[in-house]
Structure 1
Amino acid sequence: MFNTLLGCRLGTTFTQYRITLLVIYSVVLVCGSISLSLMMHILKSSAASATSITVFNLIFAHFIFLLTVPFRLYYYGTNEWNLGLNWCKMVSGMIHIHMYMSFLLYMIILITRLWPHYCRMRQMDSLGRMQALIGSVVMWVVVLVLIPCIIFSFYGNKDKDKTYNTTRCFDFAESMSSTKELNYILSTLVIVVAIVLTALQANVLYVLYNKDRQGCTSQQDFGAQLKSLCFTLIMLVCFVPYHIFRLYYIEHTYLQNINEVFLSLTTFNCLDMLTFLGRRTFHICLRGRGV
């Protein structure tokens, strides 16, 4: 009788997690698609620069991830996976690829904007448009060609004497035992870098504010740095909590359902394009309608 009650309790708990994940991913899919559409409309009228190329890469990363979200909704809605183990690995791995790619692109944007303030240079010569384009091509070749091969070959592999339940997906907690050190390093790195960049960004805004307290809001540089602060806050809100929990989860993999919820919260960074929206957005949209 105790086992029956325990089974019912666990089943109810898992159902609650499924509902939570369904809501989160549904919001991310709808709102993320809208924000990306608006941002693409804005970029059409923007001049090409290293920063805009980086933003476009960020949009493309969000777009690729959002393509996999319907498969997550399908699984959490039906509680059954019938699309094969390899596709399960791909969908499962894509959320991690998206998270770390977004983090890397945030770093590039933030460092590009912070560099002139801390190194007394107007621009970073190493991040010209041509270099940014070449870097983008190399990055996407690695992401779209090399990483899928790694996912299919190594990601989520269990011991040889254990078999997969092919009707279940995103159940790769046991495979973490062979990559504990890597997970510790990545989680610690994300937490430290996010905090440091936030502190540096806040300091720049503080300096700009003190220079011209009355007219700082009308300065283009202040506005750009304010948007950068939004990126750092996204890193703190979306990525840091997950990686703090992950440091504990690495040794306590029975908390996999909670880990999935924390992981799903990282996908709210798909809404980061909303930081670019403002009055200019509506002017561009209205102008586009007039044409």
Structure 2
Amino acid sequence: MSNTLMTLNSMQPQRSTDYHTALVAIYSVVLLSGTVSLSLMMHAMKDSPLSTTSVAVLNLIFAHFIFLCTVPFRIYYYAVETWYLSSHWCRMVSAMIHMHMYMSFALYVIILLSRLLTFYNRDTQVSSFKRIHAVIASVVVWIIVLVSVPCGILYSYGKGGTDSNGSMLSNQNTSCFKFGKYMENFKEVNYTVSALIIVVALLLTMLQANILRVLYRKYQKKSSSQQDFGAQLKSFFFALIMVICFVPYHIFRMYYLEHIDMEDINEVLLSLTTFNCLDMLTFLGRKTCYLFSPRRCCGNVT
């Protein structure tokens, strides 16, 4: 029995190293491609008129920017496999990936719902929410998020876990992003959030696909030249990004909540959700700013 335990313990570091190599590669690609994507989008929006959609996109850019600032810490940790900074900063960096995912999801829903309302001839409701209201709401939300998240991380995130004997779990000084054991008291919340994201993402994608079907039947071969079709097509790509990046992870997460020993696999799947940082490319469309030339402007956000 003791020999078996020794064998399993000797295999664990190698398995973790393999996962860490994959995570370094994934986060490096996300950091590079996400930075390029945000740079192109900021250049594209420089001369774009302010609208409710563009305000939502600016919020999305800001959410991506905050997360990308924490990615180098993840890359460094998975490369050296040792955390040299404080445990508070470890929890902060760990929480940012979840904040980024949930903020992105909320903004996707706002963008898609605004397009759905516009399509179903409820323009009065959309236009009544003026641009200044959107800006004020964005500022208020970000103030709340940027104040409440650090406080929540400081006082509760990654704390309060117990082992199988009911003893309090101790923090490890040289490891980070190992908080699966602390989720025991939040299983119901995690199940609810994961189920909600899966259902909403699939529902909005189906509604957006139906809109494209209706518009294509209306315009036929002229669809590509119609502004409303192009706008709804971009929304459909947003919905696809939401499904591809978020749904697989949350399906696995519902299984992971009962199998915390699969924490390494959960980390890899969680890292794949960050590829939604490339969502800005959907707004660039066919007039993509190439060669980073300031004279080659992209089309406006519609």
Normalised-by-shorter TM-score class: over 0.9
* Aligned-partner Cα distance in 2 for 1:126–1:153: 40
SS in 2 for 1:22: helix
AA paired with 2:222?
A: G
**2:41 pairs with 1:39:** yes
| Alignment counterpart, residue 114 of structure 2, candidates 112, 115, 119 | 112
Measured at CA, do residues 165 and 287 of structure 1 come closer, stay the same or move farther in structure 2, by a change above 3 Å? closer
Is contact 1:42-1:284 (8 Å) kept? no
Please state if 1:144 is matched with 2:146: yes
Q: CA RMSD in A?
A: 1.7
Residues 1:283 and 1:219: Cα distance change in structure 2 (over 3 Å)? farther
Aligned position for 1:15: 17
2:185 equivalent among 178, 187, 192? 178
Separation in structure 1 between the aligned mates of residue 281 and residue 115 of structure 2, nearest angstrom: 19
Matching of residues 121-270 of structure 1 within 5 Å = 121=123, 124-157=126-159, 158-159=161-162, 161-270=168-277
Gaps of 5+ in 1: none
Matched-pair contact (CA < 8 Å) for 2:90–2:177:
yes
Q: Which residue of 2 aligns with 1:29?
A: 31
User: Which residue of structure 1 aligns with residue 300 of structure 2?
Assistant: none
Equivalent residues of 1:71, 1:91 under 8 A apart? yes
Q: 1:231 to 1:289 in 2, by over 3 A?
A: closer
Shift, 1:3, TM fit = 3.2
Q: Which amino acid aligns with 2:261?
A: Y
Query: Can you list the C-alpha shifts for 1:12-61, whole angstroms capped at 9, x where unaligned?
Result: 11111001100000000000000000000011110111110110000000
Q: Which residue of 66, 84, 90 maps to 1:88?
A: 90
1:52 aligns with 2:54: yes
Quote the offset at 1:187 in angstroms. 0.1
- Which one-letter code corresponds to 2:191 in the other structure? Y
Question: For 1:17 and 1:128, how far apart are their aligned partners in 2?
Answer: 47
Q: Which amino acid aligns with 1:39?
A: M
Indicate the larger mover: 136-145 or 121-130.
121-130
Post-superposition Cα deviations, 1:227-255, rounded to whole Å, max 9, x if no partner, equal: 10111100110000000001111111111
Aligned partners of 1:252 and 1:279: how far apart in 2? 45
Contact 2:22 2:268 in 1 (8 A): yes
Q: Within 2, Cα distance between the matches of 1:101 and 1:161?
A: 31
Structure 2 counterpart of 1:281: 288
Structure 1 pair 210–70 and aligned structure 2 pair: CA distance change class (3 A): same
In the superposition, relative to structure 1, how do residues 115 and 83 fare at CA in structure 2: closer, same or farther (>3 Å)?
Answer: same
- Segments of structure 2 that go 5 or more residues without pairing to the other structure are 298-302
Cα distance in 2 for residues equivalent to 1:106 and 1:284: 29
Q: Aligned AA for 1:115? A: L
Deviation, 1:119, is 4.7
Local SS of the residue matching 1:278? helix
Instruction: Compare 139-148 and 120-129 and name the one that shifted more.
Output: 120-129
Cα distance, 1:118 vs structure 2: 2.7
Map 1:64-75; keep pairs closer than 5 Å: 64-75=66-77
TM-score by length of 1: 0.95
Give the stretch that moved more between structures: 275-284 or 44-53. 275-284
What is the identity, as a one-letter code, of the residue corresponding to 1:31? S
Give distance in 1, aligned partners of 2:43 and 2:33.
16
TM-score by length of 2: 0.92
CA distance in 2, matches of 1:59, 1:186: 23
Could you report, residue by residue, the CA deviation over 1:87-130 in whole angstroms, capped at 9, with x for unpaired residues?
00000000000000000000000000111223543661343201
SS in 1 for 2:220: coil
CA contact (8 A) 2:40 2:289 kept: no
1:6 Cα deviation from its structure 2 partner:
1.9
SS at match of 1:46: coil
Paired amino acid for 2:149? I
